[in-house]
Amino acid sequence: MIQKVAIVGGTHGNELLGVYLVKKWQEFPELLHRESLECVALISNPAAVAINQRYVDRDLNRCFATNDLANQNLTSYEDQRAKEIAMQLGPKEQPLADVILDLHTTTSNMGISLLPSSKHPFNLRLAAYLHSLYPDIKICFGLQHGQNAPMLRSLSPLGYTIEVGPIAQGVLNADLFQQTEQLVHEILNYVDATNQGNPLSEAAVVTVYQAIANVDYPRDAAGELRGMVHPQLQFQDYEPLHPGQPMFLTFTGEEILYAGEAVVYPVFINEAAYYEKQIAIVLTEKQQIDLEKE
Ligand SMILES: [Zn+2]
């Protein structure tokens, strides 16, 4: 039985879609009302929202590793917020919020992507249900998944990062705002129906993308950028990248090719916030999961 759902926005203060959706739901909480569950809407990083920046001291969505939450020496603004949020929604072993929806935007062309905390059967069934409603939705498992991950979603095994894009930082997009709002309502309907013993029908097989590696930009020995995402790869998130296809273009016009041996499906291509993390592209593998066998 899922008793409590937390909807979180503003984990990154300049990702406005989640900020304004959560503020709307705080103003009109009746919109989240469902018979069988309690919903809370929460702005996770209010100080970053106030200055329209990703974070104040450090990335809040990397502050939820179990060891960091327990470390009283970590006292940055975001480390303190993470501890407060973990008190409110966690702890990881037995979270107060059974389901967590953490709303993000990306500058990459990822459409609406659901990144679950784990491959828990509930998550796969929910993914299959959403996929049957919205054939374009993508289900993606990060390199760091499971509850040891440092993301806010890891407070619950039924936690999800919802990434929506492409949207520039500090900008709203009406179509994507409404699509995300509708998606959250469909998730609440699914949870409510499951609670009431009337599970909504799902597809038998779900396609997921599993992250396998991060790729950095070309850089010189001092770490200075030497190139950019190749124009043929820009905005091609979730499209197949074949061995020998171009990934980067250097400032002097030289192409750098994908040297792997298998077809991969890049995501977070040229994400603005990942330059500082030295990630240009996240490579994923496409997998089919048969729910009958789970
Ligand atoms: Zn974000």
Quote the ligand 1 centre to 11 CA distance (angstroms).
7
- 256 and 186 assigned to the same domain: no
Q: Report whether pLDDT(294) > 80.
A: no
Enter the tokens of residue 252. 């002097």
Q: What is the pLDDT of residue 13?
A: 98
CATH number for position 169 = 3.40.630.10
How many distinct structural domains can be found in the chain? Answer: 2
CATH number for position 255 = 2.20.25.160
Half-sphere exposure of 123 (CA within 13 A, CB side): 26
Q: What is the pLDDT of residue 148?
A: 84
Domain extent at residue 147? 4-203
Q: What is the pLDDT of residues 273-283, one digit of tens each?
A: 999 999 999 99
Rounded CA separation 200/188 (Å) = 12
Q: What is the pLDDT of residues 169-200, one digit of tens each?
A: 999 999 999 999 999 999 999 999 999 998 88
- 181 and 260 assigned to the same domain: no
Quote the ligand 1 centre to 12 CA distance (angstroms).
5
Angle of helix 174-195 versus helix 16-27 axis, rounded to 10: 60
**pTM (2 decimals)?**
0.96
Quote the ligand 1 centre to 280 CA distance (angstroms).
15
Q: What is the pLDDT of residue 236?
A: 98
- The string of DSSP letters for 177-192 reads HHHHHHHHHHHHHHHH
Q: What is the pLDDT of residue 76?
A: 98
- 148 and 271 assigned to the same domain: no
Q: Is residue 284 part of a domain?
A: no
- 39 and 160 assigned to the same domain: yes
Quote the ligand 1 centre to 198 CA distance (angstroms).
34
Q: What is the pLDDT of residue 199?
A: 83
70 phi, psi to nearest 5 deg: -85, -10
Q: What is the pLDDT of residue 229?
A: 98
- Amino acid identity at 21: L
Quote the ligand 1 centre to 176 CA distance (angstroms).
15
Enter the tokens of residue 228. 């950019």
Over the chain, what is the mean pLDDT? 96
Quote the ligand 1 centre to 46 CA distance (angstroms).
14
- 159 and 221 assigned to the same domain: no
- 118 and 38 assigned to the same domain: yes
Enter the tokens of residue 284. 């994923």
Quote the ligand 1 centre to 102 CA distance (angstroms).
9
Q: Report whether pLDDT(204) > 90.
A: no
